[in-house]
Amino acid sequence: MNKIALLLLFFTINFTSFCQTIKEEKVKTRKLTYNDFVSDYSINDTSAVIIDIFFDKKDNAGFGEMSFLPITVVLAAIPQTRMIGIGTTLVSLPLFLHGSYTLLKYRNKKLYTVLVDYKKTKTLPKWVRRKANKLLDYYDTMQPED
């Protein structure tokens, strides 16, 4: 009896471990790069412009605004430059907060959801549509006319 139970257990373990089931891999959006978005989720010019908007805002505006605060805090910590450091910290703190808000607003997960929704329904949120239309108009005026 024990041999039969062990044999059945052995076969079920083998069948479950060697069966080839197809699992859907969940996309880790925070690890996707610009090239991943362009190659996988860009279906037309509008989606390419949306990807450009998100990565441009995140890379240039978000990190650029946040980079000044650590320098000013160091200036406030040094006794000789404390007054200048405190003043510049007061100026750079709102920039740091706006930069962190920009990073939250233009994160990869939101870009992924906007692009997937655009692929299914062909509609965009109003704030994305306005920015995309402005950038598309700008690209149209920048192209040389033959």
Global confidence as pTM: 0.70
Read off the pLDDT of residues 57-76 as tens digits, 9 standing for 90 and up.
888 888 888 888 888 888 88
* Token reading at 114: 């906007």
Rg of the Cα trace of the chain? 26
For residue 17, give the amino acid letter: S
Cα 66 from chain centre: 17
The CA-based diameter of the chain, rounded to the nearest angstrom, is 87
Count of Cβ atoms closer than 10 Å to residue 42 Cβ: 17
Q: What is the pLDDT of residue 80?
A: 87
Identify the sign of the CA torsion 118, 102, 31, 28: negative
Q: What is the pLDDT of residue 23?
A: 59
Read off the pLDDT of residues 33-61 as tens digits, 9 standing for 90 and up.
889 888 988 888 889 999 999 999 888 88
In the chain, domain spans: 26-142
Q: Is 62 exposed, middle or buried (0-12, 13-18, 19+ CB in 10 A)?
A: buried
